[in-house]
Chains A and B, each alone.
Chain A
Amino acid sequence: METKNIMIVGVGGQGSLLASKLLGHLLMEQGYDVKVSEVHGMSQRGGSVVTYVRYGDRVYSPVIDKGEAHCIVSFELLEAARWLEYLRPDGQIVTSTQQIDPMPVITGAAEYPTDLVAKMQAAGAKVDALDCLALAEEAGSSKAVNLVLMGRLSHYFDFPEEAWQEAINACVPEKFLELNRKAFALGQKA
């Protein structure tokens, strides 16, 4: 099969590493060749961060390039917009509607763009925008946004429910399991 590409984008510190770990585990268990590419170091300090997840029969490049992502999962609205050019023409965006002002906006050097969902749709993207922060808080912690997003993402893939649950069990520490299962279910249902 053709290699499939999922990008996970957000702001450093938002927890995208758990999301990519979970996806990587799920895809490996499904028998695919998998590559997951992360960025560590300076950009983790509140900068724009991106993780590439690729799977298929044989995956070569560890990164996803412009026009190649089948899906962009975003923890933050502006970050979804930033990486829009990486989406394929028929690609899907799954994004949290959370907005975090970057430093140029905080200092007044730039403005946070308005109506981003509509603007991304105008550029041809299919956008599924969801208040994941509220759902994560409903599940019990604002830190569970990653699992809410994964729950939402599960709509767009044909993987069996048990496979997702197994991946959650494998990747989440025992004491946070119930919280994260709940967050996943809330994202799935929303």
Chain B
Amino acid sequence: MSSETKQILTTDGIPLEISLKKAERKNKIKAFLLVAPLLLFLIITYIFPIGEMFTRSIDDKMITNMLPKTFKSMETWDGKELPSEEVFASFLSDFKILVEKKEHGKLAQRLNKEKNGFNTITKKLFRQVKRNKIDETQSIKEQIMKVHKRWRNVEYWQAIKRTAPPYTSAKYLKAMDMYLNEDNKITQVSEDRRIHRILWLRTVEVAFFVTVFCFLMGYPIAHLLATLPMKYSNLLMICVLLPFWTSLLVRTASWMILLQQQGVVNDFFVMIGLVAEDNRPEMMYNKVGTYVAMTQILLPFMVLPLYSVMKTISPSLMRAGKSLGGTPFVAFWKVYFPLTIPGIGAGCLLVFILAIGYYITPALVGGASGTLISNQIAYHMKTTLDWSFASAMGLMLLGGVLVIYWLYNKLVGVDNIKLG
């Protein structure tokens, strides 16, 4: 704008540009204030606790707070030979405080996790301290070393030193069946104890195949629904929507009835002579049950996005393809299929995301060979009470889901999610 043009003023004498900006800002604040209550609510009750899961999963402050003097004096110790008198002395004074607070058991437990054998020797030391057998005027190092031969072993002192940092990656390593060995190197646990890796792989495998099955079954019926005349398709749509609105537990229960050994599916197989009466296959409490039930439960999430995309494709396009000399197959493959790709992306990602975190159905019909990582998380939350481990696994799962969510957002956009 050249300086000669007269500035446009509003009626109250403020330049129009400033006035407009002011109004704009006011609108922005207004819009934000509308969103603020929900946003604040979610941040406090949801986003923040997810962050807390992270601090919980790496937290190792308990022992850091239990042995403050020991770790302070250990700072100068090179960790190769037995530590000096000073370290022993400060360990004893930390230990005495713990005995007074009756927390020595917790210490033993934590140290035993780091290296087996701490339980016994901590108990022995506790008895000596309790009976006031340790004379502080003499060498504390000598006396502690006399309590048990393991106190003379440098490996145990190295183990204590390893617990010094207030944060640990141990839970994450454990979820990958790995741990930090004596030399601070990441090592794998012995082969027969690698349970978590199997679970991760199985979770991804189940989610992947359920997605594939949903796609293979969902695509044809979405196509049928989109091409049939309205009055028929509305009726058939109920078959998709009714399961969608029905309780997950009801649907799982019906699969439990159908798939049991004396169940309807097995009856049917016997009737048509597929299997012998006395040789009914076990279809529940294994992976078969998980696959069948999850596919049926998640199928509507595949059909609905596919249907909404297919509905917008004009049938004349297929006719044009055919009239230009393509066989029906070629016309479908070259014209129709590429147009449905956005729907395929949306449906597959939605099903995959939902399947990867599934809990209820695998827990009920999965049995031992059909449980997934989320069952393991629930197990540690409710049974072993190892909440930090459950948090670590949960966050790893969340990381995977967020990557997929981000992809989904890139490809489809969250605001394009259609429901019903």
Partners in one complex: no
| Residues of chain A having any CB pair with chain B under 8 Å | none
Which B residues have a C-beta under 8 Å from some C-beta of A? Answer: none
